[in-house]
Amino acid sequence: MKFFIDDGYVSLNHVGEELCGDKVEIVRKEDATTIVLADGLGSGVKANILATLTSKLLSIMIASDADIEECIASVISTLPVCKVRKVAYSTFTVIHVDNNGKGYIFEFDNPPLIYIRDGKLFNLQREKKVIIDKTVYCSIVDAKVDDCIVFCSDGAPHAGIGKTMNLGWSINDIASYILSNYSNEMSARQIAALVGEACNSLYMGEPGDDTTIAALKFMTPLAVNILVGPPIEEKDDDEVVKHFLAQDGLKVVCGGTTSKIVARYLKEDIKPSLTYYSKDVPPIAIIKGIDLVTEGVITLGKVLEVTEKYLDTKSVEDKSLDEKDGATLIANLILKRASNVNLFVGTTLNPAHKDLPIDVSMKMKIVESLKKSLESAGKIVRIEYH
């Protein structure tokens, strides 16, 4: 796998509406990713149904290797046309790319996408096609590492009309805003939230249109390995640590007892930090040869909390994960940098927890919930229990 395709989006509902008239569908397969952003005309239930229908049909057909032009022709011919505006009831952007960074983009009446390469705007060639008497723009993708694609519904360039801006926020303005805040360390979801937060501000917290911003990045694959808790049999300590250290990628050790086992195996000292970056998360420590050392179950519980907040598509709050506490440091690794997350989970009962409402089942619930959340974000997650 040459690239891990990182994706993310955020959506703002039209003020007063419970349902969003935009819909994003993502189909991830072993060798390719398909993303469809559909925008139903208007807002509310009707727009939501049409956008959902469009995104579902396109994503399923294209991910199944059906001919793209035939897929688009089927959807366009199926969609009703507004009698007043003479436009389709749903517009869409389709991106289909494989793990080598090759693929295509089709855009039908959505705002033109923004392609970033080397921190600058990249002029992706758009070919005009006519399908069922409708103009569709097609682009061929041949990505390089850290290339980023940002695309949106028309609620983004309409942001602020009649409130903070006379003519809205143009795509060129949005592109300039992204570039002025952009760095290669930013995740796709972070970039989407950055633009979403700006749109929400321009709308003064009351979006006059459904607004969705989606992004994807082509990242170098990276595994993050997390060892949490000692194995149930003490005699297996060294074998488990040896197996853990033999993995490719970054190494994270969670838990006091686990840290002692690893330090003993490596013949290194544990150097605890005395700095509390958060009242809710115990301090980290340092073991030479290990990328990050944290406390165990309490920290993992906070990692899950941070992860769920980060993955919330209805929240445009800052997703930079810049805090320095142990939980956010782990979250930063697994959410923004990792393609693969390998969890090595010890199932012995920690004597230090005998008087606390913490047991092995709680740890396992946290780990399984974390796995589910990470997989929803496209991460490849593996758990080994010892």
Mean of pLDDT values over 80-88: 60
Query: Given pLDDT bands bounded at 50, 70 and 90, which one contains residue 84?
Result: low
How high is the pLDDT of residue 382?
98
How high is the pLDDT of residue 253?
98
Where helices occur in the chain by DSSP H, the ranges are 44-63, 68-78, 171-181, 188-202, 237-245, 256-266, 297-310, 326-332, 360-376
Mean of pLDDT values over 225-250: 96
How high is the pLDDT of residue 358?
56
How high is the pLDDT of residue 291?
98
Q: How far apart are CA 96 and CA 286, in angstroms?
A: 42
Mean of pLDDT values over 355-370: 78
- CATH 3.60.40.10 in the chain is located at 4-219
Which positions ≥6 away from 279 have C-beta within 8 Å?
A: none
Write down the pTM of the prediction. Answer: 0.92
Q: Which two tokens stand for residue 236?
A: 């297996």
How high is the pLDDT of residue 166?
63
How high is the pLDDT of residue 79?
73
pLDDT digits (tens, 9 = 90+) for 282-331: 999 999 999 999 999 999 999 999 999 999 999 999 899 999 999 999 99
How high is the pLDDT of residue 296?
92
How high is the pLDDT of residue 125?
95
> What homologous superfamily does CATH list for 4-219?
PPM-type phosphatase domain (3.60.40.10)
Ramachandran bin of 86, using left for φ above 0, alpha for ψ from -120 to 50, beta for the remaining angles: left
**CA distances for 173 relative to 119, 158, 195, 244, 289, angstroms:** 16, 12, 11, 48, 45
Query: Given pLDDT bands bounded at 50, 70 and 90, which one contains residue 354?
Result: low
Block residue for tokens 């090759």: 102
Q: Which two tokens stand for residue 70?
A: 């035939």
How high is the pLDDT of residue 83?
60
- What secondary structure letter does DSSP report for 21? S
pLDDT digits (tens, 9 = 90+) for 175-228: 999 999 999 999 999 999 999 999 999 999 999 999 999 999 999 999 999 999
pLDDT digits (tens, 9 = 90+) for 89-136: 789 999 999 999 999 999 999 999 999 999 999 999 999 999 988 899
